[in-house]
Chains A and B, each alone.
Chain A
């Protein structure tokens, strides 16, 4: 019985020690000064240059979208039999990228991983921006985009309802719920930080603006009690949402009978892929943020290290999924499935299949090495490869399966047009524009959350929380 013996306090090997959450001396006051100062002063020239670039990309995209509205979907490369192409690839790509934010915010909160506090705000913001980029595609890829409101089940003169048995409608509900919940979660977390900004600012206009936005938050303990409960509940609900949203997106494919689409492993495979792509995007953005905003003491190399480990873990899960797809193609002894699988590794689009496998499985294995996990060059290389690889994975799933399915007389090659590329570029422009604006206007680190985990932040009972 251990209660009688003295509890052993062993020497912890260095490789197993937890790295500190912040580097150097950080106090609540210095944290505010460091992080909240950014919205208060003019941004440096690089910010304006960056904004100019992202705005041009956005404008290009908007132009191409306008052209598509005017001319029709024929301006894209979609044609029989590849009826879904860049539009759905981009949709799934962006929804996937959003998932990392919710995982960091919600799931890591449930696991009480304190290192998440410094990066949760930015990650959540990226989720919202990514979902905004994603939502563009279902809206513009229909033949008459001005009638897109017909998707919603409202009573109408046509006496018609939307088809609730279609996964496309499940998507509408799932993605909209995801956006609403993420926005609510993000905004609630912002309230105490905006209150801090309200009490620091000297500008009258900003004081009114921040007062309104912070809803009069005053840090009352009775308020914090309900706030924390709401945050915990939201984290739990958002966790369920993360699993469900990308699963519903995967149902778009898995409920069909197209060979290569109707695989039961799609739901968890898509969720793992989403986390994979999302974390890579978060790593890339955080590297830029910590360097350009001098936040290296708060977004530490340890944060990047552990995020890279998550990317590595997800890469292994993707390897399992690809392996299962290949095994099933053989095990099923189904000639259509086998033909579809051969198209991934050979044939017209075999290069895309190999690109996907290389970028998603082989390249991330570099992250087994600690030097790669903690070196900017290697981690950005891996992150870029993963982003490209995950985009191509959706290309492989959609275009390869569609261009040659059951009936050889329907087989045809798909070629994207400049409009397709232009719109994709535009969404990147939108995403990074929003990121830049967010960094300019709001605190990129959740100061109230980080204050709560600084040394000495909680009344001393010496307890650990891991």
Chain B
């Protein structure tokens, strides 16, 4: 068992090393726009997976869910991805002058951009980003730090504190995810706006967190860990993935259909960029991998709890989430979807980094929150 572990770890380290070489080469070879677009993609991915997982934890505390207590440690560990995300995000601030039209001096010539110049400008943008990172780390320390500490102290006071903090977290989460969506993602095209964009990124983040959690749960169970987590628990995970796949699709379709219907030039330009030429293919693939395939795979009742099916669908969903962010960011680079050695290098580097981090996180604390008073009830859960 540990041999496979060691081999995988070495594989990931090797991938990271190769990727790092490619990343550095890309900085000098491909031009700053492409470099920063890739960096941005992986920053947004890490942030959404980490924050989405933290949202899962907070939601469980908010509604007092018992069935999820045995597996709550998993999203807590995945959420620690927010820690390396902060330096990645601070570095991503380097993208501002390059990719964000609102930060450039020419923006003042544009009537729309000039009116919100102070918002789009580098100082306030950076300040907002730092605040978002700080709030994420604060929430992480409260939920995850407190939960890990409870392993030793077995003090139920943590549950009371977490439930009290959960509503505040929801408000902060709404703020953070909306700011990240508007600033980092739709800020690439600052003349365009869609007020559902925060909800759209939330749906993607929640789904990514669910998929990461499910993948980790199934993976740990394959190693013989998380004994006691049964098909009933996995069924709920599959059910949530199914429901929120539909939710993401609903949000994405609503946004597209409304802009298609009104056909206003200001708005439609966003989708035109994604439906013209070869981007059309990417859009179709996104719809198929993010909606059609997971829907079909999870619609039947029996499939929702089955480990193999869940593993495949969760992997597909995470891949689709990466594609979603790619689809959001890369059209600013041009009419052809770029995919070549730079993108592969970045993928190797960041996937290696992320997987190594999460695998390391899986050794933090106990596999289940052993100090949680509801653990026994959670293990007894039956559908």
In the complex, whether B328 has a CB less than 8 A from a CB of chain A is no
B195 / chain A contacts, CB cutoff of 8 Å: 263-265, 324-325, 327-328
In the complex, whether A332 has a CB less than 8 A from a CB of chain B is yes
Q: Are B194 and A10 in contact (CB under 8 A)?
A: no
B115 / chain A contacts, CB cutoff of 8 Å: 333
Known: A8-B376, A12-B156. A264 touches B258 (CB 8 A): yes
How far is the CB of B61 from the nearest CB of chain A, in Å?
10
A333 / chain B contacts, CB cutoff of 8 Å: 111-112, 115-116
Interchain CA distance A264-B194 in the complex, whole Å: 6
Question: Could you give, for residues 416-456 of chain A, a 1 whenever the CB lies within 8 Å of some chain B CB and a 0 otherwise?
Answer: 00000000000000000000000000000000000000000
Interchain CA distance A247-B382 in the complex, whole Å: 34
B159 / chain A contacts, CB cutoff of 8 Å: 13, 16
A13 / chain B contacts, CB cutoff of 8 Å: 156-157, 159-160, 373
Interchain CA distance A462-B199 in the complex, whole Å: 40
In the complex, whether B170 has a CB less than 8 A from a CB of chain A is yes
In the complex, whether A146 has a CB less than 8 A from a CB of chain B is no
What number of A-B contacts does a CB cutoff of 8 Å give?
A: 141
Q: Are B258 and A251 in contact (CB under 8 A)?
A: yes
In the complex, whether B228 has a CB less than 8 A from a CB of chain A is yes
Interchain CA distance A5-B163 in the complex, whole Å: 27
Q: Are A332 and B261 in contact (CB under 8 A)?
A: no
Among A5, A327, A464, chain B packs the most CB atoms within 10 A around the CB of A464
In the complex, whether B54 has a CB less than 8 A from a CB of chain A is no
| B240-284, CB < 8 A from A | 243, 246-247, 250-251, 254-255, 257-259, 261-262, 264
| A1-53, CB < 8 A from B | 1-3, 5, 7-13, 15-16, 18
A5 / chain B contacts, CB cutoff of 8 Å: 370
Question: Could you give, for residues 213-251 of chain A, a 1 whenever the CB lies within 8 Å of some chain B CB and a 0 otherwise?
Answer: 000000000000000000010000001100110010001
Among A240, A256, A268, A316, chain B packs the most CB atoms within 10 A around the CB of A268
How far is the CB of A398 from the nearest CB of chain B, in Å?
18
In the complex, whether A348 has a CB less than 8 A from a CB of chain B is no
Q: Are B377 and A2 in contact (CB under 8 A)?
A: no
A332 / chain B contacts, CB cutoff of 8 Å: 112, 193
Q: Are A464 and B380 in contact (CB under 8 A)?
A: yes
A-B contact pairs, 7 of them (CB 8 A): A16-B374, A263-B196, A268-B254, A325-B195, A333-B111, A333-B115, A463-B382
Residue numbers of A with Cβ under 8 A of B are 1-3, 5, 7-13, 15-16, 18, 110, 112, 232, 239-240, 243-244, 247, 251, 254-257, 262-268, 316, 320, 324-325, 327-328, 330-333, 461-466
Residue numbers of B with Cβ under 8 A of A are 64-67, 111-112, 115-116, 119, 154, 156-157, 159-160, 163, 167, 170-171, 174, 178, 182, 193-199, 224-228, 239, 243, 246-247, 250-251, 254-255, 257-259, 261-262, 264, 301, 366-368, 370-377, 379-383
The 3 closest A-B pairs by CB, nearest first: A10-B373, A3-B227, A463-B382
